[in-house]
Structure 1
């Protein structure tokens, strides 16, 4: 794996993106990127599939949180556990489907807080949220996610049996100065991908 983008959170922690191809060969449409959260205590794969186009959405999310536009919706309450609510929402969808009474909408009030996701890594699956708290701080939060898909060698476990294992894996406040640096880095990386994508050139 080749590290292609490192976003420093603080002196010890960072988020980095990797790909299997050489940097000289990356492009916007076909290169697959994965993301990891690297701290002094742990290494967590927080995103399992992105293409270069996704960096436009990620940059937009950063710009929103910089401008205090990703506050937790009032419908969810003030101090809530987004990861737990996200798991409960997904379970509600599954139960409705199994009962033959699918929900009219899969929309979740906290969906705007979603930032990155690793939903195909069995018991290492997790979801990353990026949002503004009540004071306007930028919060990065990673929570464990129920593994909806199991490999052949991995025994299935019901949601109810898994739920006691749920936890917030990482939570920190990121300064807005750092977010501004992330935006610059991600924009530069995105522009580099565009430049290297031959199909986009005339």
Structure 2
């Protein structure tokens, strides 16, 4: 993995916008923290594009349903479906937004594929990373926030019927959690690792502080409406 990251990390630096991703296991609070960051930035006058993978585009909705809720697909097909969604997502939504100076905040990005399909599905982290980087032409976030949570605790937070990944088993989720932690340790300049059991407002403040350091904004400025 060191080869692709050494040459392609932080391609976003050439674009005027800011790219932030949230990663972690199911139930860790990624969607909540992405929304709170978006609300804070919007309140400060920045254009924010909130999105997710899979499913951030019209095509992505179809692929999300196929890969998470459709008929059984094998592990390689699953990885290719995620890469297809990501390639289209970046080309049609993420890069154009970054090019016009927006902040793009995504709930999951390619690190999820490396953790879930590469490590969780045993396809090989290096292979899945190369596929993912090729799909997005090397685009990585300037900041990736990992909300770290024990998989059992995360599952207890979920409601509704589990999807294909949520029902993959305890060992699968232990491998994916460790994969996230290993990736964060290998690239601390891009990652911010937070204990997802901390209160929501504390987590939001820590995320704002890191984003403020990247943008020159004042992290102490309140969220519009006075919330966290």
TM-score band, normalised by shorter chain = under 0.3
Which of the pair has more CA radius of gyration?
1
**Higher share in helix:** 2
**Higher share in strand:** 1
